[in-house]
Amino acid sequence: MHTTPTLPARSVMLRALSERDSRFEGQFFFAVRTTGVFCRPTCRSRAPRPENVQFFPTAAEAYRAGFRPCRRCRPTEAATAIPPEIGKLRDALEAAPEQRWSDADLCAAGYDPSTVRRCFRRAYGVTFHAYRRSLRIGTALRTLQSGRGVLEAGLAAGYESASGFASAVRAIAGAPPGRARASMAQLASSQIDTPLGPMLALADDAGVRLLEFTDRRGLDRECREICRRLQARILPGENAPLRAARRALDRYFSTGAMPEIATAPIGSPFQLRVWSYLLNIPAGETRSYSQVAADLGIPRASRAVGRANGSNRIALLIPCHRVIASDGSLSGYSGGVSRKRWLLQLEQRAQQAHS
Ligand SMILES: [Zn+2]
- pLDDT by residue (tens digit) across 156-194? 555 555 555 555 555 544 445 555 444 457 888 887 878
Of 39, 119, 223, 320, which residue is the catalytic one? Answer: 320
Helix axes 84-95, 128-145, angle to 10 degrees: 30
pTM value surpassing 0.85 = no
Same domain, 98 and 169: yes
- pLDDT by residue (tens digit) across 263-278? 999 999 899 999 999 9
Residue 76 confidence (pLDDT) above 70: no
**34 falls within a domain:** yes
pLDDT at 168: 55
Structural domain boundaries, residue 202:
186-254
Q: What's the 214 CA to ligand 1 centre distance in angstroms? A: 22
Last residue of a domain, one of 159, 183, 207: 183
Listing DSSP states for 231-294 in one string gives TEEEEE---HHHHHHHHHHHHHHHHS-PPP--B-----HHHHHHHHHHTTSPTT--EEHHHHHH
CATH number at residue 310: 1.10.10.10
Look up 320 and say whether it is catalytic: yes
Distance in angstroms (rounded) separating the CA atoms of residues 109 and 124: 22
Q: What's the 44 CA to ligand 1 centre distance in angstroms? A: 7
Q: What's the 284 CA to ligand 1 centre distance in angstroms? A: 46
pLDDT at 280: 92
Q: What's the 1 CA to ligand 1 centre distance in angstroms? A: 21
Number of folded domains that form the chain: 4
Q: What's the 41 CA to ligand 1 centre distance in angstroms? A: 8
Residue 37 confidence (pLDDT) above 60: yes
**153 falls within a domain:** yes
Please identify every residue whose CB atom is under 5 Å from ligand 1, which is an ion: 39, 43, 45, 70, 72-73
